[in-house]
Amino acid sequence: MRLAPAANALTQARYILKLATMEVHLKPETASRLAELASKSGRATDDLMEDAMAGYLQELTEVREMLDSRYDDIKSGRVAPIDGEAFFDNLRQRENELLKKRNLK
């Protein structure tokens, strides 16, 4: 819902946040773990779920932004894609060389 700006306000409120109720179905094992954590922490299960979902969604947003950025870098030619198998072969080779150097000492 949008608010009309106040005539003499220093800042303008643009939106009213409305809490929504949502029903979440958990596996019995997950619900049990949630209840145990709530009991140990003294926090409500609703609060724990809110924190968990907020953190998950934030992390998901950050990963999506990173992947979009990397894709844009490849598409624009700023970086060149590398073959995954070739990368890991090279990594194994460098690791083996380091291990040989350590064994010689």
In a domain, 67, yes or no: yes
14 pLDDT above the threshold of 80? no
| Nearest alpha-carbon partner for 20 in 2, 46, 44, 59 | 46
Half-sphere exposure of 66 (CA within 13 A, CB side): 6
In angstroms, the CA 9 to CA 100 distance is 71
Give percent of the chain with pLDDT exceeding 90: 69
In a domain, 96, yes or no: yes
**Close Cβ partners of 5 (under 8 Å, ≥ 6 residues apart):** 12
Predicted TM-score (pTM) above 0.95: no
In a domain, 49, yes or no: yes
43 pLDDT above the threshold of 90? yes
Instruction: Please give the tally of structural domains in the chain.
Output: 1
In angstroms, the CA 55 to CA 93 distance is 38
Q: Can you give the residue range of the structural domain that contains 98? A: 45-104
In a domain, 90, yes or no: yes
In a domain, 25, yes or no: no
In a domain, 37, yes or no: no
In a domain, 66, yes or no: yes
Which of the residue ranges 13-17, 77-81, 86-90, 93-97 would you say has the lowest mean pLDDT?
13-17
**Close Cβ partners of 83 (under 8 Å, ≥ 6 residues apart):** none
In a domain, 3, yes or no: no
In angstroms, the CA 28 to CA 84 distance is 39
